Structure 1
Amino acid sequence: MNEETKKRLIRLAEEEIPIHKYFGLKVDRIEKEFIRVKVPFREDLVGDIRTNRWHGGVMATIMDSVGGAIGIANFKSPEDKLATIDLRIDYLRFAEGKDLIFEGKLVRMGNRIMVTKMKAFQEEILVAEGKGVYNFIRAK
């Protein structure tokens, strides 16, 4: 992937997708088969106000976005389409009130189905992992 394409994908992820902009998502690295993003902790993303921990639904949303970003990085046309078929998240530890790092990796790219694995970290500690299955439709 050339630098111009990377810059375009980073701008799309950080500035043009409204929910990513709301979360303050920042792309650290993007390739055709891998992405790493950072999302800063904010009080309005808390799920358990007693312990100041991340909301699991927010984490799942970002993991789905990370998996989908790999698909977008593999588009051959702006007319290509992508939709989530299945998303599974395993929460391994509480995500404390600190920034999160999310990574996504391509597992399989078929003719119509794409599979990714995603992970969420806090300070090198794995707090969640997941798998996304996406319907990938190429423009004709």
Structure 2
Amino acid sequence: MDLQDDFVKRMIEDFVPIHKFLGLQVLDIKKDYVKVRVPFRAEVVGDIRSNRWHGGIITTVMDSVGGIVGGTHLSSIKDKMATIDIRVDFLSPVHGKAIIVEGKTLRLGSRIFVANMKCWLEEDPNKEVLAEGRGVYNFIRLQKG
């Protein structure tokens, strides 16, 4: 199946409850890469004094992006993937605007998948990285593809 297929995007956006709740939109997806947009809204605020994103929400989006990138390597609906560890470094406050998060494959082993993720404000033409992360995932192929 072509990863650019509307069906794949719809599955990611509409059938994963947290993605639907956050309004996650897939902007680009291909083997080893995904870029998503998440709109800003009141439910994602962590600091009401400055209208900034909650770090836990950004971490959740990054974990999802890492999982989606890993999903570009799945060979069967029976394959499984689960987060082992995620680390996020917050480099600068993420103020109340839509964010873009992209993820790339760093390593795919026989049982472990590692992804790198970066986050910036959608409207920033310089794409200043506000947060970056690395996710480690247990990756199990149950059926040869």
Partner of 2:74: 75
How many residues end up aligned between the 2 structures? 139
Partner of 1:128: 131
Amino acid at match of 1:130: G
- Which runs of structure 2 are paired with 1:27-106 in the superposition (5 Å)? 27-106=26-105
Distance 2:130 2:67 in 1: 20
SS at match of 2:136: strand
SS at match of 1:85: strand
Give 1:9 deviation, angstroms: 2.2
Query: Identity of aligned pairs, percent?
Result: 50
Distance 1:131 1:8 in 2: 27
Distance 1:9 1:106 in 2: 19
TM-score using structure 1 length: 0.95
Give 1:31 deviation, angstroms: 0.6
Give 1:27 deviation, angstroms: 0.4
TM-score using structure 2 length: 0.92
Spell out structure 1 runs of 4+ moving beyond 6 A: none
Partner of 2:6: 7
Partner of 2:20: 21
- What RMSD in Å do the two structures reach over aligned CA positions? 1.2
Distance 1:131 1:44 in 2: 25
More helix by share: 1
SS at match of 1:75: coil
The superposition leaves residues 109-129 of structure 1 with CA deviations (integer Å, 9 ceiling, x where unpaired) of 110000100000111221000
Partner of 2:112: 113
Structure 2 unmatched ranges of 5 or more: none
Amino acid at match of 1:17: V
Distance 1:125 1:108 in 2: 25
